[in-house]
Amino acid sequence: MNIKEIKDSIWEKLHDKIQQQKPEVRDKKYFILQNILSMAGGLVFLLIILFLFSFILFFISRNNLLFFGHFGLRGWQSLFFAFPWWLLIVALIFIFLLEFIFKKYQIIYRRPLVYSLGIFLALTFIFGTIIARTSWHDSLLEQARARHLPVLGGMYRNFEEPANLHIGQLKEQTETIWAIQSRTGEIQFVVISPKTKFPQGNIFALDDLLLVAGPSDDGQIEAWGVMPFQPRQFDRGFGKLRPMMK
């Protein structure tokens, strides 16, 4: 068998295989529509990711969760259990889906997965922080409390307060019992014991804002940590730019 016969044989086999597979020739409009749907789906996923990240940051800021770190190991444990982990997991799942949608585009597929994920996380954190510092989530929270937020209302109502962190103005003070008024106007009694930690000292004046860490039962808080609370401008509740939330 000479070279020409070998070439002819290979061509015949290749031709037969192509005929069997019957490749479908797609119109240019198909690829345009595919790209439009990919971009629309990616935009929806991106908006969901931004909402989830901004809500997580809003929840952390509004409830001052990072202050748990001032009370040692017990505080870090409370922070771990108070953190909305499932929302973070859902946001990461959507980031992976977004990566999957856009991996065919040159800007994505030529870069390692860890780089593109890092860029997504950085951008969502930056824009999520900006959104969290606006009044948007405050408005949604108020609508949820009034039962005017049908889909997301339950999520907002369930993530309002951490279990072991309380903020209030000092109204009365004895050696072992302090009375504080919460942001909702409720009077709570703080039980001070020798085990109570004061990371920034235990000298307070009436009407000082206090942050109290400890479990609450029927208006009584068993304090394992007390410190002064100085709200930042974007803090909810007692912040300068926010009224007392009721």
- Residue spans of the domains in the chain: they are 28-158, 165-228
Q: What is the DSSP letter of 197?
A: B
208 pLDDT above the threshold of 80: yes
Domain 165-228 listed as CATH 2.40.50.140: yes
179 pLDDT above the threshold of 90: yes
Kindly write down the DSSP assignment for every residue of 82-107, as one continuous string. Answer: HS-HHHHHHHHHHHHHHHHHHTTSHH
> For residue 238, what pLDDT band results from cuts at 50, 70 and 90?
very low
- Compute the CA torsion angle 68, 71, 229, 133 (nearest 10 deg): -20
How far from 130 is each of 57, 205, 233, 240, 242, CA to CA, in Å?
10, 35, 14, 18, 17
Between residues 169 and 142, the one the model is more confident about: 169
**Positive or negative torsion for Cα 169, 172, 176, 180:** negative
CB-side neighbour CA atoms (13 Å) of 81: 9
User: Residue 217 corresponds to which amino acid?
Assistant: D
Mean pLDDT of the region 15-33: 62
Angle between helices 85-102 and 113-132 (to 10 degrees): 130
Between residues 148 and 238, the one the model is more confident about: 148
Residue 245, pLDDT score: 36
Between residues 237 and 232, the one the model is more confident about: 232
| Among 154, 159, 135, residue whose Cα is nearest residue 144 | 154
Mean pLDDT of the region 148-158: 80
> For residue 237, what pLDDT band results from cuts at 50, 70 and 90?
very low
Between residues 166 and 11, the one the model is more confident about: 166
| Among 106, 97, 89, residue whose Cα is nearest residue 41 | 97
Q: How far apart are CA 74 and CA 239, in angstroms?
A: 27
> For residue 244, what pLDDT band results from cuts at 50, 70 and 90?
very low
